[in-house]
């Protein structure tokens, strides 16, 4: 057995409590938390790693967070994201319709399109900073240096990008609640 | 006064809980979460159920933002893709380019994809070389959300940070648990495969690539031909001119090799033999009169090589013997 991966397993065993505490706090569902922890353990047991894991416990927390995100993810929204991205396709090979209801996916897709339109209205610099951070994965500190602004100013720009989405989603929910009434 | 207890909920521009939730997401995004941070995050979540609900919303918003960016990375939205020949995207002058980058949200993303192709990673790409012995099946984690399984006699280079795999030879399957398109990129010669929420299998053989998708979809060459291969489909593509054929496949037969099985449904004998030769790194000859035959069946490749050859010969109603390094099937 590979040493790297048996190392990760023993770190897991030693830190079962904090990991479970995190999953409990994150899901507020004891049974789900236990299940997810078990899934993470199985994954670690079965896998070797392409490269050594630098900080094993932080890696395990991150794995737990990913497991939660997977479990909570809305299938319709996931598919809407995928298919929206996939619209720019020159050739489609194979594939039938997906089995989620087309209405739900179409609705999510329209929502995403509308969010994009909202993002287009963002101030120039906010967009640029967001793209640097999220797409180019440039750390906030480097962005701050590049633009000669403070790190907290960089964060304000990033906060604004997330807020655009939130405000839009909230508006949509309100409209839905109003429009779908009997 | 007490009739408006949740003012902040309706005023997102001033909501400390939301802002803190964004901060947690940003911090994870930057890979800056150490163990103390995770514990502080746990404590924050425990304080109030509203914290977790808010955080979930930020996670969804984050996926939306990234999807937007990924969607607009195509050449269509970007009439003059500025694929940089010699500029690094982190040069100080880059800030001045932001205006044109945003023009359609596209050029920068095109740069991103180009960046991965031409300079995979910023501080020197670190590729770990991974090889399997003939007949060996091996499963490897690439970061927390990608699982790669390598078939026997395969060679791949893995850049874990950049989530980029270079397929040198052989076969591997990739299972991605992320709803962001582009969580993994697989390079096969000059081809680039990008996942769209996916389980897929790639074989690199002499001059051709076989890509089979069992879940989600895979985009081939997102910055050029943009061919979307959907679940239940295999394409066989020539690496020199990118011509290809496609056929429907079942996920069971595509991934059966992970359990040591080679499953073939109405396949030509020549292609079945090519698979066995590739996985076991061996040579097989069959009589000419059999080579046009089509086969359906299963072989257990986890067995001893001699047993595999005897099984193959049995399917062909012949016998197998070894002559030097070559297996000869005769009837």
Residues of B in contact with A93 (CB under 8 A): 227-230, 233, 235, 246
**Same-domain check for residues B107 and B153:** no
Residues of A in contact with B226 (CB under 8 A): 88-91
**Same-domain check for residues B133 and B246:** yes
Handedness of CA A131, A137, A141, A147 (dihedral sign): negative
Query: Could you say which of B49, B66, B99 has the minimum Cβ distance to residue A28?
Result: B49
**Total domains present in chain B:** 4
Does the pLDDT at position A181 exceed 50? Answer: no
**Which domains are assigned to chain A?**
3-72 (1.10.1740), 81-88+97-179 (1.10.10.10)
Residue B177 domain-assigned?
yes
Across residues A144-162, what is the average pLDDT?
Answer: 93
**Interface residue A151 vs chain B (CB under 8 A):** no
* pLDDT, mean over chain A: 79
Domain boundary among B85, B118, B151: B118
Domain boundary among B253, B277, B303: B253
In angstroms, what is the C-alpha Rg of chain A?
21
Question: If you count them, how many residues does chain B have?
Answer: 331
B159-216 tens-digit pLDDT:
877 688 999 999 999 988 766 667 888 999 888 888 876 789 999 988 899 999 988 8
Does the pLDDT at position A88 exceed 60? Answer: no
Residues in chain B where the model's pLDDT stays below 70: 1-13, 68-125, 162, 178-181, 197
- What is the maximum alpha-carbon separation in chain B? 94
pLDDT-based confidence at A78, cuts 50/70/90?
low
pLDDT for residue B111: 33
Across residues A42-54, what is the average pLDDT?
Answer: 78
Residues of A in contact with B233 (CB under 8 A): 93-95
**Interface residue A136 vs chain B (CB under 8 A):** yes
**Same-domain check for residues B83 and B185:** no
Residue A1 per-residue DSSP state = -
Residues of B in contact with A58 (CB under 8 A): 33-35, 38
Chain A, nearest residue to B76 by Cα = A88
**Same-domain check for residues B136 and B245:** yes
Enumerate residues 6+ apart whose C-beta is below 8 A from A61.
A19, A22, B33, B35, B38
pLDDT-based confidence at A178, cuts 50/70/90?
low
Residue B2 domain-assigned?
no
How far is the C-alpha of B235 from the C-alpha of B211, rounded, in Å? 5
Across residues A116-125, what is the average pLDDT?
Answer: 81
Contact A65 B28 (CB under 8 A): yes
**Same-domain check for residues B291 and B320:** yes
**Same-domain check for residues B36 and B142:** no
CB contacts < 8 A (A, B): 231
**Same-domain check for residues B237 and B183:** yes
Strand partners, B298: B263
pLDDT-based confidence at A108, cuts 50/70/90?
confident
Mutate to test the interface with A, among B15, B144, B221, B242 (most CBs of A within 10 A): B144
pLDDT for residue B90: 32
Q: In Å, what is the CA distance from B182 to each residue of A124, A168, B109?
A: 25, 25, 12
Domain holding B81, by residue range, is 75-118
Query: How far does the CA of residue A178 sit from the closest CA of chain B (Å)?
Result: 17
How far is the C-alpha of B12 from the C-alpha of A171, rounded, in Å? 12
Residues of B in contact with A166 (CB under 8 A): 12, 18, 57-58, 61
Mutate to test the interface with B, among A48, A81, A148 (most CBs of B within 10 A): A81
Backbone angles phi, psi at B231, to 5 degrees: -55, 145
Strand partners, B141: A49, B147
Does the pLDDT at position A87 exceed 80? Answer: no
């Amino acid at each position: 057995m590979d040493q790297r991966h048996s190392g990760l397993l023993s770190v897991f065993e030693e830190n079962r409590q904090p990991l479970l505490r995190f999953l409990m706090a994150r899901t507020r569902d004891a049974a789900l938390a236990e299940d997810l922890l078990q899934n993470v353990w199985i994954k670690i047991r079965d896998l070797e790693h392409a490269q050594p894991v630098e900080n094993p416990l932080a890696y395990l927390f991150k794995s737990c967070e990913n497991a939660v995100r997977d479990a909570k993810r809305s299938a319709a929204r996931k598919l809407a994201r995928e298919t929206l991205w996939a619209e720019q396709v020159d050739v489609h090979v194979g594939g039938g319709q997906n089995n989620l209801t087309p209405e739900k996916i179409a609705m999510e897709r329209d929502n995403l399109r509308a969010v994009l339109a909202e993002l287009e209205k963002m101030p120039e610099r906010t967009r640029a900073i967001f793209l640097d951070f999220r797409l180019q994965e440039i750390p906030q500190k480097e962005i701050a240096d590049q633009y000669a602004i403070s790190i907290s100013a960089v964060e304000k720009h990033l906060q604004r990008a997330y807020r655009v989405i939130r405000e839009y989603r909230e508006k949509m929910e309100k409209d839905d609640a109003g429009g779908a009434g009997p | 006064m007490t009739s408006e207890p949740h003012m902040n909920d309706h005023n997102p521009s001033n909501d400390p809980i939301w802002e803190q939730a964004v901060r947690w997401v940003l911090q994870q995004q930057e890979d800056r979460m150490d163990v103390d941070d995770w514990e502080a995050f746990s404590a924050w979540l425990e304080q109030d159920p509203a914290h977790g609900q808010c955080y979930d919303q930020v996670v969804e918003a984050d996926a939306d933002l990234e999807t937007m960016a990924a969607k607009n990375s195509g050449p269509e939205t970007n009439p003059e893709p500025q694929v940089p020949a010699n500029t690094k995207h982190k040069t100080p002058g880059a800030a001045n380019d932001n205006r044109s980058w945003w023009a359609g949200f596209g050029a920068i993303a095109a740069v991103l994809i180009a960046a991965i192709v031409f300079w995979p990673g910023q501080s020197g790409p670190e590729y770990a070389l991974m090889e399997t012995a003939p007949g060996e099946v091996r499963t490897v984690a690439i970061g927390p959300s990608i699982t790669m399984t390598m078939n026997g006699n395969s060679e791949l280079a893995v850049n874990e940070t950049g989530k980029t795999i270079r397929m040198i030879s052989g076969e591997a399957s990739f299972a991605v648990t992320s709803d962001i398109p582009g969580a993994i990129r697989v390079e096969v010669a000059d081809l680039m495969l990008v996942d769209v929420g996916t389980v897929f299998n790639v074989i690199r053989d002499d001059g051709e690539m076989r890509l089979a998708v069992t879940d989600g979809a895979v985009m081939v060459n997102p910055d050029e031909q943009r061919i979307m291969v959907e679940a239940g489909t295999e394409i066989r593509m020539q690496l020199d001119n990118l011509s290809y054929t496609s056929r429907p496949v079942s996920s069971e037969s595509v991934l059966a090799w992970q359990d040591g099985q080679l499953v073939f449904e109405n396949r030509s004998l020549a292609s079945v033999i090519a698979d066995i030769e590739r996985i076991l790194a061996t040579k097989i000859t069959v009589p000419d009169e059999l080579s046009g035959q089509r086969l359906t069946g299963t072989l257990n490749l986890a067995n001893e090589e001699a047993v595999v050859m005897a099984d193959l010969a049995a399917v062909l109603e012949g016998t197998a013997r070894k002559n030097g390094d070559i297996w000869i099937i005769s009837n």
